[in-house]
A and B are shown apart, each in its own frame.
Chain A
Amino acid sequence: MYLFGVKKVIKKHPLALRWFHWINFPLLTIMIWSGLLIYWANGVYKIQVGDKTIVKFFPDGFYKALNVPFHLAKGMSFHFAFMWLFIINGILYVFYTIFSGEWRYLLPNKKSFKEAWQVLLHDLHIRKYEPPQTKYNGAQRIAYTAIVLMGIGSFWTGLAIYKPVQFSWMCWLCGGYSAARIEHFILTIGYVLFFLIHIFQVIRTGWNNFQAMITGLEVIKPAKQNTTTHEQA
């Protein structure tokens, strides 16, 4: 039934999750920015095929545009202060997700991988079929769980670089000091890629989905009601 003056909504994102999400955004930005200031001091990574450099991390123009050069001390002072806030926010998020039961809609299940493939084909306009979903579809479940694991990875590799003698076992598990530094860097590149895809998908999905991350409520459109009823059955 669709009553006049009444909206059917779904309580999509609990308040706590919205806080964690929006606090994480500037914190991760500061961590990536200060990390870049640190990385510059020994910015040696590149992708190379034979003798030919395909990608250099990073070109001089990129550094200059972002005012990166000669700010190692500044980068370290920010990185080692904001790391605490980033870690605390991450831990609170994980604990909330576990104890509230939200993990049920977040963790991938048996169907997720097949579903993620279907989502990909649908998003690329290869197939019309869109798999039914609850809070998140299979692709989202995988992506949002992966980002949590990546966070744990950044914490682990970060501590291994920060205190490689005191936490030598953590460093050892990373495959050594310089390996830990590379892994920490790759994870950061991963966040940037995640961010780009995330922004693109949010824009593509539209306003109703986006505003739910701020208000918590997503409006269920009459047409969509059928599919949800269908799925509940």
Chain B
Amino acid sequence: MSRHDYFSTRIKNVSKASFTKRIIFSFFAFALLTALAIFSWKWLNKQPTEQGALKPLRTTLETNEKIFKSTFGENKLSKTYTEKDAVKNVRVNGRIGMLDSIDVNAWRLQVIRAAGDTLKLSMDDIKKLPKEDVIFDFKCIEGWDQVTHWAGVPLKTFMQYYHLDAQMKMEYMGLETMDKKYYVGIDMPSVLQPQTILCYEMNGKPLPMNQGYPLRLIIPVKYGIKHLKQLGTMYFSNQKPRDYWAERGYDYYAGL
């Protein structure tokens, strides 16, 4: 008979009294643990919120960020597609901070290098930099995805061209729409990722108004919420810049 024979190794005789005792003890322990689980659940749901998420869950999201930042490789590229894979009807999502009309001649990208030191750039300044196409699977935090075709200047190239070397060493970049009603913060490694572009073309044509004309961010390593449209202001910080959806309970990092 082998050591693992089910019946030979597991059958035993117990007195009825000790069996009853075992049942009472086990069920008591089970009830106690159930009560503890319910109590813990209620405790968790009664915790104060931090930026729209329960404090312990916010802390966990931040811990997850630290863990998954360690798997982030700046040169780990998103899969790219060919032009014919890209959809013609690009989904429009999010109108917060969007203006109905913009005078592109008056428009300037305000790059705040430091307090009181702002670089103002026209669309022509940006368009003269080398243009890159990015065709990738755009992922919305809601759960849908679409292969879309964008073009613009890589943010890294842009920052190098304008000698933003000191700023590149900071932890975060903050971006705001022209009316400052929508705003995001992005960690610098994701900003410097080669597929991250300041985008002014979609499907080979200038960006439509509802897709962020004249200039938007395309950052394939993040959910769509970070791809800010109608870019107005860029700034740098070692603290997390304010972020519209992170203030409303979402993960700040939102990295893919």
| Interface residues in chain A, defined as those with a beta carbon under 8 Å from any beta carbon in chain B | 3, 5-12, 22, 26, 38-39, 41-42, 44, 72-74, 76-78, 80-81, 84, 101, 104-105, 134-135, 163-168, 177-178, 181, 211, 214-217, 219-220, 228, 231-232
Instruction: Please report the C-alpha to C-alpha distance between residue A73 and residue B57 in the assembled complex, in whole angstroms.
Output: 11
Complex partner residue of B142 from A6, A72, A177, CB under 8 angstroms: A72
Instruction: Please report whether the interface of chain B is mostly helix, strand, loop or mixed according to DSSP.
Output: mixed
Determine whether the beta carbon of A165 is less than 8 Å from that of B54.
no
Find chain A residues with CB under 8 A from B64 CB: 80
12 CB-based A-B contacts, threshold 8 Å: A7-B14, A22-B30, A73-B249, A76-B141, A163-B71, A163-B256, A165-B77, A165-B255, A166-B255, A168-B76, A214-B27, A215-B26
How many whole Å from A19's CB to the nearest CB in chain B?
A: 9
Determine whether the beta carbon of B61 is less than 8 Å from that of A177.
no
Determine whether the beta carbon of A134 is less than 8 Å from that of B60.
no
Interface residues of B in 126-144 (CB under 8 A from A): 137, 139-144
How many whole Å from B251's CB to the nearest CB in chain A?
A: 7
Find chain A residues with CB under 8 A from B221 CB: 165
Complex partner residue of A26 from B13, B37, B137, CB under 8 angstroms: B37
Determine whether the beta carbon of B13 is less than 8 Å from that of A8.
yes
Find chain B residues with CB under 8 A from A105 CB: 6
Find chain B residues with CB under 8 A from A168 CB: 76, 78-79
Of all chain B residues, the one with the shortest Cβ separation from A185 is: B143
Complex partner residue of A163 from B5, B22, B255, CB under 8 angstroms: B255
Interface residues of B in 58-83 (CB under 8 A from A): 58, 60-61, 64, 68, 71-73, 76-79
Nearest 6 A-B pairs (CB), nearest first? A42-B143, A73-B249, A134-B6, A41-B142, A81-B60, A77-B57
Determine whether the beta carbon of B220 is less than 8 Å from that of A6.
no
Find chain A residues with CB under 8 A from B56 CB: 81
Find chain B residues with CB under 8 A from A42 CB: 140, 142-144
Instruction: Please report the C-alpha to C-alpha distance between residue A104 and residue B13 in the assembled complex, in whole angstroms.
Output: 24
How many whole Å from A69's CB to the nearest CB in chain B?
A: 13
Instruction: Please report the C-alpha to C-alpha distance between residue A104 and residue B2 in the assembled complex, in whole angstroms.
Output: 12
Find chain B residues with CB under 8 A from A217 CB: 14, 19, 22
Of all chain B residues, the one with the shortest Cβ separation from A74 is: B249
Other 7 A-B pairs with CB < 8 A, given A5-B16, A232-B1:
A10-B10, A41-B141, A77-B58, A163-B256, A165-B77, A166-B72, A215-B22
Determine whether the beta carbon of A10 is less than 8 Å from that of B7.
yes
Instruction: Please report the C-alpha to C-alpha distance between residue A10 and residue B19 in the assembled complex, in whole angstroms.
Output: 12
Q: Which of B7, B8, B220 has the most CB of A within 10 A?
A: B7
Determine whether the beta carbon of A76 is less than 8 Å from that of B142.
no
How many whole Å from B256's CB to the nearest CB in chain A?
A: 4
Of all chain B residues, the one with the shortest Cβ separation from A228 is: B7
Instruction: Please report the C-alpha to C-alpha distance between residue A105 and residue B8 in the assembled complex, in whole angstroms.
Output: 14
